Amino acid sequence: MTALTTRPLSTSTDALLRFALRADATLTGLAGLAVAAFANPLSTIGGLSPTTEYLIGAAFVFYGVAVYYLAALPSLRTIGIAISLANAIGTVAMLAIVMTDAAPLTETGIALTLATGVYTAFFAYLQYLGVRRLRA
């Protein structure tokens, strides 16, 4: 009788971090395109000006392209830490905007801002887990 052994598909420890970075980049970039495309209706729903909505959409698209590029680099530890930290700071910023009434948000705008905070917290945690899996 012969025992079958299978090799692992990959010995890489950075798969989770690369996935988390690319998923964050893709979803944020797509959200940015949607925000830019629907800036006028979103401005009436959320309470911000159309110009602000366009700028937010453009920033999301830029972030998405930049993070997707960075996710392809061979060494990810520093990048993973930086992007995870940026997402954590984004979460705190979303909470601060809502709690201090820093922006003239409607109730729907508040809900969308808090949903964005949950999104950034989720990806900060996923990227943190990916960084922890990396070998030293």
Could you read off the pLDDT of 54-106 as tens digits, one per residue?
A: 999 999 999 999 999 999 998 899 999 999 999 999 999 999 999 999 989 99
Please report the pLDDT score of residue 14 as a whole number.
83
Please report the pLDDT score of residue 108 as a whole number.
94
DSSP letter for 134, please.
S
Look at residues 95, 96, 93, 83 and name the one whose alpha carbon lies nearest to residue 125. Answer: 83
Could you read off the pLDDT of 109-121 as tens digits, one per residue?
A: 999 999 999 999 9
Please report the pLDDT score of residue 79 as a whole number.
95
Higher pLDDT, 29 or 5: 29
Domain locations in the chain as residue ranges: 15-133
Q: How far is CA 133 from the centre of its chain?
A: 19
Could you read off the pLDDT of 6-64 as tens digits, one per residue?
A: 555 455 678 899 999 999 999 999 999 999 999 999 999 999 999 999 999 999 999 99
Structure tokens at 86: 């940026």
Buried b (16+ CB within 10 A) or exposed e, 105-126: beeebbebbbebbebbbebbeb
Count of other CB atoms within 10 angstroms of residue 66? 13
